[in-house]
Chain A
């Protein structure tokens, strides 16, 4: 008897079993995402973009319209779709290299502009598709192909704190969280909240998912989970970083947003702009 696993409705059965390595966390993140899409009933509205790196293997993962883009460029492609078609639910799916290194300017600016898209970033501490090089998220002293003696933080810095960074540059209408494949129910919950934030047209939403990479970590199942649950969580705190609607103090809201709300400032700034224009004649 063949056991047919319980798949989310949004999954595309024809492309299963999926193409990720055994033990890879991508399948779990995409399971949580599939269920979130099902529960929100948005399968026919989702436009899914996946990056280069292992995330590209998700190009035919769902029965949703999907485009696989270039390394780091999924954020602008989904931004472009959303700006042209605000009625679509746009999801940019990428790895830590794509989001925090080669595409970091896109992440930072999409967040700053409060683009109404959802970015899901899978953090497995390395560039996996290219064979296990150091990523911005590689842990201190962790060995990779480009840090064979361990990541030297003096030379290469500390692991990027993604959701915290995004929270720092967004306003109160953004949602940022860090989940883990070790707690799928929680991860799905975060993904749902992120998507809801977009559906309600509030603002940018960002979820980092801690994930395992046994192929490049060279770990067995037990050690993979141990690394994920015990090591990674020491450097990457799981939980919601910013939830929309929560009243934030000046610090959390950001000085620019505080100041923009003040009437006299607005009048003065507009005046300056007008003067400048006159000066050009």
Chain B
């Protein structure tokens, strides 16, 4: 048996795609199925170079439909199988992910969002938020981690395997083209060395013993004959999903206690939001920061608490209101006014968020301000 891919912990400087490949190795993933699409290609490139050294496998499929379904097959065989995609590939992969939801197949899918709709750009966006959370003809019973740094990509890719296998819901790591392609520092490590045990896997198909004699055969189906049969199955899933929600939800918050303006963002835009929050604080503006890490399930209760004390929410995202919908649903009934900073398919910097809030405070944005902040203008 080959040595462990990572001994202990070390600081590295690499792209996000490389970080994902290392994380999958560190998580002891067995096999990747994949199909080329920018900007996730290097996940495959690094995996195909590294995997054979650790007796791990790769299959390049004919399309993303196949990549999704072969991943389902790999997982059904009891292996930590994963795939990665983006944009139109994510669209195609939703078919398999909907089967994974129905059959409770713990797949892991890394999404590096690119511009949309259609082929759009190969660069960056946050426009696959709704698709990743709710793609498929179902209820979106899946777990979605939105990462905002290479450290996140590494940590949450490992975690995705564990959470998927623990709860048996398809699990997603939602990155983007910036995270895929940029280089920054992070620590990579052997999870065991940190006392993190990997969740055990088990075959759903192909167990030992003679079916019908030593054990019952596995008969997995996603088709039901009656409404009542289906309703019973889905109701059970909903109950289980609701039960896992408080155990799984994650978020990050800063300076929210006394904040009047809360900047809300996920993924890489959260970095801009956090930087802007700190700058605004240094200028005396009572700003706070909230970032959902899990988009499914959403940290709704936590956000609702903040909505009760804040005077304004500002939702910033590189999409035309996909995070916004999640926020609105989460705080439905609360009266905090919502302001938005939406740039579908384009990056958002901390500087522009500061400028935006500044002009908001100075009353340049009309009709939406209803309280006084920092003694300036009618907020």
Tell me whether A and B are bound partners.
yes
In the complex the two chains form, what is the Cα distance from A68 to B205 in whole Å? 12
For residue B58, give the distance in angstroms from its CB to the closest CB of chain A.
9
Query: Is residue B71 within 8 Å, beta carbon to beta carbon, of the partner chain?
Result: yes
Give the docked Cα–Cα distance between A45 and B203 (Å).
13
Contact with B along A39-72 (1 / 0, CB 8 A): 0000111010000100010011011111111100
**In the complex, are the beta carbons of A85 and B99 less than 8 A apart?**
no
Q: Looking at the complex, which one of B30, B72, B217 makes contact with A77 (CB distance below 8 Å)?
A: B72
Assess whether B223 is in contact with A59, with CB atoms less than 8 Å apart.
yes
Q: Please give, as numbers and ranges, the residues of chain B lying within 8 Å of A65 by CB-CB distance.
A: 205-207, 211, 217-219
Cβ of A66 to closest chain B Cβ, rounded Å: 5
B103→A67 contact, CB < 8 A = yes
Specify the chain B residue showing the minimal Cβ separation from A60. B219
Q: Are B205 and A69 in contact (CB under 8 A)?
A: no
A244 to chain B, nearest CB (A): 22
Say if the beta carbon of B96 comes within 8 Å of chain A. yes
Shortest 10 CB-CB distances between A and B: which pairs?
A80-B73, A63-B212, A80-B70, A109-B62, A76-B69, A84-B77, A84-B74, A76-B66, A81-B73, A68-B221
Q: Is A12 on the interface with B (CB-CB < 8 A)?
A: yes
Closest chain B residue to A105, Cβ basis? B62
State whether A77 touches B206 (Cβ < 8 A): no
Bound-state CA distance A59–B75 (Å) is: 19
Chain B residues near A108 (CB-CB < 8 A): 62
Q: How far is the CB of B30 from chain A (nearest CB, A)?
A: 7
In the complex, whether A83 has a CB less than 8 A from a CB of chain B is yes
Asked whether B30 lies within 8 Å of A84 as measured between CB atoms, the reply is yes
- B114-149 residues with Cβ-Cβ distance < 8 A to A are none
Contact (Cβ within 8 A) A79 B70: yes
Known: A76-B61, A109-B61. Contact between A70 and B99, CB under 8 A? yes
Most chain A CB neighbours (cut-off 10 Å) among B66, B68, B79? B66
Number of A-B contacts (CB under 8 A): 138
Q: Does B252 have its Cβ within 8 Å of any Cβ on chain A?
A: no
Q: Complex: how many Å from CA A258 to CA B95?
A: 38
* Residue A228, interface by CB 8 Å: no
- The digit string for B19-45, where 1 denotes a CB below 8 A from any CB of A, is 000000000001101000000000000
Query: Given the interface contacts A12-B212, A85-B206, does A66 sit within 8 Å of B219 by beta carbon?
Result: yes
How many positions in chain A have a CB within 8 Å of any CB in the partner chain? Answer: 34
Binary interface encoding of chain B residues 43-61 relative to chain A, with 1 for a CB under 8 A from any of its CBs, else 0: 0000000000000010101
Q: Does B323 contact A (CB under 8 A)?
A: no
A77 near B219: Cβ-Cβ < 8 Å: no
Nearest CB of chain B from residue A79's CB, rounded to whole Å? 5
* Mask: chain B, 78-107; 1 = CB below 8 Å from A; 0 = not: 110100000000000001100100010000
The winner among A84, A105, A108 for most chain B CB atoms within 10 A is A84
Contact call A73/B65, Cβ cutoff below 8 A: yes
The residue in chain A whose Cβ has the minimal distance to the Cβ of B80 is A84
Bound Cα distance from A78 to B73, whole angstroms: 6
Shortest beta-carbon distance from B231 to chain A in Å: 19
Partner of A68, one of B96, B206, B222: B222
Q: Which residues of A contact B68 (CB under 8 A)?
A: 76
* 16 CB-based A-B contacts, threshold 8 Å: A47-B77, A47-B205, A59-B219, A70-B99, A70-B222, A76-B69, A79-B59, A80-B59, A80-B71, A80-B73, A81-B76, A83-B70, A84-B79, A85-B78, A109-B62, A109-B66
Determine the distance from Cα of A73 to Cα of B219 in the docked complex, in whole angstroms.
17
Question: Does the CB pair A80–B212 fall under 8 Å?
Answer: no
Q: Does A192 contact B (CB under 8 A)?
A: no
Q: Is the CB of B218 within 8 A of A66?
A: yes
Q: Are A66 and B217 in contact (CB under 8 A)?
A: yes
Bound-state Cα–Cα, A88 to B63, Å = 24
A106 within 8 A of B: yes
Contact with B along A141-180 (1 / 0, CB 8 A): 0000000000000000000000000000000000000000
Type the 1/0 row for A239-256, where 1 means its CB is closer than 8 Å to any CB of B: 000000000000000000
Q: Is the CB of B73 within 8 A of A70?
A: no
**Residue pair A77, B221 in contact (C-beta under 8 Å):** no
Query: Which residues of chain A are within 8 angstroms of B209 by Cβ–Cβ distance?
Result: 44
Contact B223 A56 (CB under 8 A): yes
Given the known inter-chain contacts A12-B217, A69-B99, A70-B99, please indicate yes or no for A77 contacting B76, CB distance below 8 A. Answer: yes
A68 contacts across to B, CB distance below 8 A: 220-223
